[in-house]
Structure formats: structure tokens, C-alpha cells
Amino acid sequence: MENICGYLMKYTNLVTGWQYRYFVLNNDAGLLEYFVNEQSRHLKPRGTLQLAGAVISPSDEDSHTFTVNAASGEQYKLRATDAKERQHWVSRLQICTQHHTEAIGKNNPPLKSRSFSLASQGSANSPGVQRRPSQNAVSFFNVGHHRLPTGKRVPIMQPDHLVDVREMMSQAEGQQRDLIRSIECLPASGHLTSLDQDLLMLKATSMATMNCLNDCFHILQLQHASQQKGSLPAGTTISWLEPKISLANHFKNGAAQNFPAEINKPASVREEQSIAEPCQLTREPEEINPDEELEDICDDKEDDLGAVEEQRSVILHLLSQLKLGMDLTRVVLPTFILEKRSLLEMYADFMSHPDLFVAITNGSSPEERMIRFVEYYLTSFHEGRKGAIAKKPYNPIIGETFHCSWRMPKSSVATNAGTNSSAHSPSEQVALPKDAEGQAEPDCYTVKFVAEQVSHHPPVSGFYAECVERNMCVNAHVWTKSKFLGMSIGVTMVGEGVLHLLEHGEEYTFSLPCAYARSILTVPWVELGGKVNINCAKTGYSASINFHTKPFYGGKLHRVTGEVKQNMTNTVVCRVQGEWNSVLEFTYSNGETKYVDLTKLSVTRKRVRPLEKQGPFESRRLWQHVTESLRDGDIDKATEHKRALEERQRNEERLRAETETPWCTKYFLKDGDGWVYHKPLWKTVSAAQTQQTDSN
């Protein structure tokens, strides 16, 4: 194997970012080295990675990036100039890695005993604890191996054999757990500790071995599934013969855990693991009848800090493994920091003032409609948060959906529009007349909402809301990107939304601010930051809104400023300032001022179908066991249910990749870089107008 060399971009840190470095793949030594430039190649390398036991992974961020994860735990994040060059480097690195990994295996014969037990731990002065310099940590463990008879061809596995293999895998997994438990139970200080580098390497190697065996078992499952695929009816989804073994999260804060057998798992967990993606069998959009929806009675305020205080050591352990600027999209966060709702439902809660939403189209001029939209936009974030404590909603799984609606008397929209919103009492709810309960009466407006998780990597959500009576709708798609920023976590909301006022033929495009979870080690709280823009191309009006993060010294929390302009004349027609979770002040060009007290603004409860009428992939039914466990304060049980859902999603995603089966969304269609609802109101109205014209 010949050495290869060339320039690649290397990610250093959040401050320095990407830098060009000259890399050399030394095939003979099994090393990846890099230098500042080609001219300094004769000098000592700036960095070196041992490739034996390393994992080379192309990134799904783009077609140029890949990572090299060494067995030591060190990682290089690299970027080539194009996809072809990335493939060249990845292929050569993988070949070199495999060669040197196999060489280590041949030069290190297996140990003979089958025991996983630690050497007896006596006192600090006992021979069993005193460690000689030449003594390798592996000598403290004796690992047995099973060998297949040589010269025999292994037949294609049938289901019965796969069951036997699965049983052997379970036994091996149990032994590997015992090994890790033994290491974790070692003292934190002394001659032999749980942080000994050789023991940490042994833990990593055993985990990598089990992962490799899992991949092999997956290939056998896929091989059998592909043989059966020809006899299955079209459209049928192939499910796993058994759930893939979950190797993650064996321990909580370094303490030994109990590992119950599969049969001892709660029925709800087995059900979560065994659902073979039923939404893939029925991908036709479902028409939700608003009459089946009932006023939501759930009021899960997230003001409980007890769990966060109790689990601070777990948070510290998690933070110790994160790097500044690290993408948290694939990081599994502890269950106790979760809100009791899905991200899709959180987007719905941003529309808890539907009277202000419907009132937008009532504006008598383009200027007034833009100002009303800005008012609605700024009032949506306060109610979207459930309490003052910063917690994270569930990450929706692909195919997950959420449906709801709001009803409000037409008189409430007419009354509230243009009045001082601070006049409402804090507990006031928009009440429906008795004759409007349970059905959509002519005296009520109905706003319907649907959201769907259309992609898993990257995590993209689409949501759509419409009010047919007022000929208006909004369509949006959001890609959430989270990063670790030290003592806070930043979430960027990539994407845009479009509000359609069909009565006026106007479209308003808008973006969303970034969100930050601050003080994650003490009392976590949320603030918004960044600049967002709202534009209406037809009328020439635009709005620029700045969400200000709190400066290090002084300054107010949650401050927001903005202005509405007429682009043709560059005239500011309205200015706004205040706090997005408190009081907003609107100052108009005529000198008038309006105050909106968000804490006293009326809230309309959303209407949701009961759980028994929801589909298996609707948010509340999908996460019901996690939510119930969190309400009961049973974090371990909630974690078990959450892990079952996530493991099922990973299995199904891998199967789709192996069988090259594309994911089919249910309610949203890809449109360029965005996603659009399959039956938006603007298409329905346009078709109705065309039909009416043809009939005339």
C-alpha cells in the first residue's frame, strides 16, 4: 500500500474554525499525520493518529466532510474539496485501518479462560492490587472465545438459527456488561482505578467488538429479509426479526444497574419496540374531523427543578464529554431534562393566540396588516414556553405527526383586534358560546394545525395552519441545529415560513430566532437571540426584528426591538421595543403608542383528539408512556420507554438505507429546499375559482 498525502481542512475549535493542513497517510506505520503545510513535512507532525481500531465515518452534514475516530478517543473532523476526494481519502483510510487492526489481532492470541471476573481486590498492600510496571490491564481479565470448525461452509441462516444466534448474542452482551460493571466498580483512586487507561481501552474494545457483532447479526437479518422480500405484497414494510441490541446507556452516573431480561420489560416497551412502522403501510393523508377534537386539559408547566438538582452529577458527566461547538443533534441527552411534550406540539403552542392570527387579514391596509403580523409574531413565543425552567421537548421521530385546532367566537376577533391587549386578566381564556361547543358554528372561526417530522438526519419538521373562513394559511419548515457553547446550549432554527393572505393576494415570508438554554448547571433558563426578517414582496413592506441576548454586564433580559418599513420610500411606519415575555410597546408614525402585556393576553386552548382516537404515530399517543413516567417522577422508566422508541427508529432507518427504500412523508411534499403541505389552502381556493369560472 502506497502512502497518500494532500491538503484537507481540519476543524480545530469554535474560535479557530476550519484550517487547511497537509495530511499524510503512512500505511506502513498505520498513522495519519498532519503538518501546517507541505513545506514543513520534514519537521515533527503537528498531530498523529493511530489508525488501528479507528472508525472512519463520512458525515451526513455535506458530501465533503468525514471524521476519523481513533481508539484512543481522539477525533479529527476533516473536509475534502469535493465528494470524489472525500471518497478517495475515506477508502484508503478504511483499508489501512482494517489492515493494522487485523495485524494486532494476529499478534495478540486470545486468552483461554472463560471468566470475566476481576482479580480479587484485597487491601492496598495485597499482591492482587499491587501492579508491576510490565503488567497489562488485560491480565486482570480472562476472556473466552468460541471458534467455528475449520473447513466447513456456514449455511445461510434460517429463522430458527437466527433465534439461536440472538440468544448467544444476548449471553455475550451480558458478559460484556459484567466486564464494564467490574471496571466501573473499581475505586476512583489507588493503584488500579476505573480511570486506568488500559482498562478504559479494554472497555472501548469490548464495546467495539459487540458493535461489530451487532452489525454482522444485522447483515444476517437483512440477508434473510431480502430472500423473503420477493414473496411479500407490494408496499409491505420488512420489520426486524428481533430488536437490535441496545448497548448505550448501560450505566447511570457510574453506578451499577440491573439489566432485566426482555421478558421482564413492561408490555408498553415491548409494544414500542415491536411496531413495524405502521404509518409506512398507510401513507395516505388522514382527514382529521375537528368535531372529534376536545378542548385540551393538559397543563404541564415545567417549573420543577428538583430532578435537575438531583441529577447535577449526571449533567457534569455529560458536559465532560462535550467539546465547544459540538453538534448535539446526535447526542442522547438525559431524560430528566425533557419537557412533557414533543417538539411538534411546541410549534402548535406558538399559535395559542389564534384571535391575533385571524385578525391579521382584517387590516384595512398593507401597512396595518404587516403591523398586525408583527404583533402576532412577537406574542407567539411567550406561550410557546411551558414555564420558566429551560427544558427540551422530545425529538420527534420520523413520520411523527401532531394535529390540533382552535375555535374562537368571531366577536372575540373583532373586539380584540386593535384594542389594548393589556386589559385582559391573566387567567382569561377565550370562551366559546354554549351552542358552539362540540361543533363548528357559523359564529366561530376554526384554525386547523398539522405538523409532521419529515426528516430525521437532518431533523426537519414541517407545520401548516389554516383558517378557511378567513382564506388564510401559514406553511413552514424548520431544521433544528443545536450546539454546545460551554455553560449554555444554542439552537438555530434553520428554515422559513410563509403566511398567505388569499383575500389580499399577499405572502409574508419570515424566519425564526435562535434559542439558548443558559446556566445549565444551576437554574437553566431560555432566551432568544438573533435577527429575523419579515417581508411582503407584493406590498413592499418589511419588518426587521432583533432579539437581544443579555450582555455579560448589566442589560435587560429578553429584550426585543424592531421596526416596520415601507421599502420603496424607506419610511419607518412602526417601531417596537420591550420584552418578548412581558410587555411590548408599539409606536406608530402618527405618534400613537400601544402596549401589549403578554402576561395578561388571552389564551385559547387548543383542541386535540383523545388518545384512543389518535393514530400510533401521533405525538401524544407515541410518547404517552414517556410522558406518564415523567409525570410520575419515574425517570428510569421514562428513559426505558424513550430508548425503545429511539432504538426502533434507528433500526428502521438502517433497514431503509440497506434496502434503498426512500422515506415517504404523509402530509408534506419536498419543494426545492423546503417542504409544503400536500393540500394547502391556496391550491384549494385556486381550484375552486377555476371550477367556478369553467361553470360560468
Map 406-423 to HEC letters: EEEEHHHHHHHCCCCHHH
DSSP 35-102: ESSGGGTTS--SEEEE-TT-EEEE-SS-SSEEEEE-TTS-EEEEE-SSHHHHHHHHHHHHHHHHHHHH
C-alpha cell at 149: 470448525
Rounded distance between C-alpha atoms, residue 245 and residue 165, angstroms: 12
3-state secondary structure of 309: helix
C-alpha cell at 694: 369553467
Residues in the chain: 696
Q: What is the pTM of this model?
A: 0.57
Residue, of 577 and 458, whose pLDDT is higher: 577
Q: What per-residue confidence (pLDDT) applies to 277?
A: 41
C-alpha cell at 83: 465528494
C-alpha cell at 544: 426587521
Q: Which residues contact residue 594 at a Cβ distance below 8 angstroms, ignoring those fewer than 6 apart? A: 420, 585, 586, 588
Mean pLDDT of 164-188: 80
Q: What per-residue confidence (pLDDT) applies to 264?
A: 44
Q: Are 449 and 608 in contact (CB under 8 A)?
A: no
410 pLDDT band (50/70/90 cuts)?
confident
What are φ and ψ of residue 684, in 5° steps?
-65, -45
Q: What per-residue confidence (pLDDT) applies to 448?
A: 95
Q: What per-residue confidence (pLDDT) applies to 651?
A: 85
3-state secondary structure of 448: strand
Q: What's the pLDDT tens digit per position in 218-273?
A: 667 666 665 554 443 444 333 333 333 333 333 333 333 443 444 344 555 544 54
Given its phi and psi angles, is residue 633 left (phi above 0), alpha (psi -120 to 50 degrees) or beta?
left
C-alpha cell at 78: 476533516
According to DSSP H, which parts of 528-671 are helical? 619-622, 624-631, 635-658
70 pLDDT band (50/70/90 cuts)?
confident
Q: Are 607 and 595 in contact (CB under 8 A)?
A: no
Query: 267-274 and 624-631 helices cross at what angle (nearest 10)?
Result: 150
3-state secondary structure of 480: strand
Rounded distance between C-alpha atoms, residue 556 and residue 547, angstroms: 12
Rounded distance between C-alpha atoms, residue 559 and residue 555, angstroms: 9
Interstrand relation of 18-26 and 4-11 (parallel, antiparallel or unpaired): antiparallel
Amino acid at 92: R
Rounded distance between C-alpha atoms, residue 406 and residue 605, angstroms: 7
CA proximity to 605, closest of 414, 394, 437: 437
| Cα 671-672-673 angle, rounded to 5 deg | 105
Query: Which of these ranges, 7-16, 422-431, 507-516, has the smallest mean pLDDT?
Result: 422-431
- The highest-confidence range among 334-348, 364-378, 432-446, by mean pLDDT, is 364-378
Q: What per-residue confidence (pLDDT) applies to 125?
A: 39
C-alpha cell at 379: 406574542
Q: Are 556 and 533 in contact (CB under 8 A)?
A: no
Rounded distance between C-alpha atoms, residue 13 and residue 486, angstroms: 12
Rounded distance between C-alpha atoms, residue 520 and residue 514, angstroms: 17
Query: 267-274 and 635-658 helices cross at what angle (nearest 10)?
Result: 20
| Cα 637-641-645 angle, rounded to 5 deg | 165
Interstrand relation of 392-394 and 338-342 (parallel, antiparallel or unpaired): parallel
DSSP classification of residue 694 = H
pLDDT at 611 > cutoff 50:
yes
Q: What per-residue confidence (pLDDT) applies to 428?
A: 41
Q: What's the pLDDT tens digit per position in 554-591?
A: 678 889 999 999 999 999 999 999 998 889 999 998 88
Rounded distance between C-alpha atoms, residue 25 and residue 404, angstroms: 56
Q: What per-residue confidence (pLDDT) applies to 468?
A: 92
Q: Which residues contact residue 482 at a Cβ distance below 8 angstroms, ignoring those fewer than 6 apart? A: 327, 328, 329, 489, 490, 491, 492
Query: Which of these ranges, 313-322, 347-356, 584-593, has the smallest mean pLDDT?
Result: 313-322
Q: What per-residue confidence (pLDDT) applies to 621?
A: 93
Q: What's the pLDDT tens digit per position in 233-243?
A: 444 333 333 33
Q: What per-residue confidence (pLDDT) applies to 361?
A: 92
Q: Which residues contact residue 411 at a Cβ distance below 8 angstroms, ignoring those fewer than 6 apart? A: 443
Q: What's the pLDDT tens digit per position in 679-692?
A: 999 888 776 666 66
| Cα 274-279-284 angle, rounded to 5 deg | 165
Q: Are 239 and 164 in contact (CB under 8 A)?
A: no
CA proximity to 427, closest of 601, 613, 614: 601
- The highest-confidence range among 199-213, 347-361, 540-554, by mean pLDDT, is 347-361
Mean pLDDT of 159-184: 78
Place of cell 475516530: 69
Rounded distance between C-alpha atoms, residue 127 and residue 552, angstroms: 56
Mean pLDDT of 34-41: 91
pLDDT at 540 > cutoff 90:
yes
3-state secondary structure of 311: coil
CA proximity to 407, closest of 424, 384, 432, 427: 432
pLDDT at 307 > cutoff 90:
no
Q: What per-residue confidence (pLDDT) applies to 417?
A: 42
Q: What's the pLDDT tens digit per position in 461-519?
A: 999 999 999 999 999 999 888 777 766 778 888 889 999 999 999 999 999 998 887 77
35 pLDDT band (50/70/90 cuts)?
very high
C-alpha cell at 381: 413565543
pLDDT at 659 > cutoff 90:
no
Name the E strands within 556-633: 559-566, 571-579, 583-588, 593-597, 607-608
CA proximity to 89, closest of 72, 74, 60, 68: 68
Q: What per-residue confidence (pLDDT) applies to 498?
A: 95
Mean pLDDT of 629-648: 86
C-alpha cell at 218: 444485522
Domains of the chain: residue spans and CATH: 4-105 (2.30.29.30), 304-414+443-683 (2.40.160.120)
Number of CB atoms found within 10 A of residue 623's CB: 26
Q: What's the pLDDT tens digit per position in 477-489?
A: 998 887 777 667 7
Place of cell 458493535: 211
Query: Which of these ranges, 57-61, 157-161, 384-388, has the smallest mean pLDDT?
Result: 157-161
What are φ and ψ of residue 260, in 5° steps?
-70, 155
Rounded distance between C-alpha atoms, residue 686 and residue 673, angstroms: 24
647 pLDDT band (50/70/90 cuts)?
confident
3-state secondary structure of 370: helix
CA proximity to 416, closest of 362, 335, 344, 342: 362
Average per-residue pLDDT for the chain: 75
Rounded distance between C-alpha atoms, residue 428 and residue 43, angstroms: 73
Q: What per-residue confidence (pLDDT) applies to 136?
A: 40
Question: Which residues on adjacent β-strands are paired with residue 294?
Answer: 608
What are φ and ψ of residue 355, in 5° steps?
-65, -40
Residue, of 687 and 73, whose pLDDT is higher: 73
Amino acid at 427: S
Q: Are 158 and 165 in contact (CB under 8 A)?
A: no
Name the E strands within 260-363: 294-295, 338-342
Query: Which of these ranges, 41-45, 120-124, 326-330, 387-391, has the smallest mean pLDDT?
Result: 120-124
Q: What per-residue confidence (pLDDT) applies to 110?
A: 43
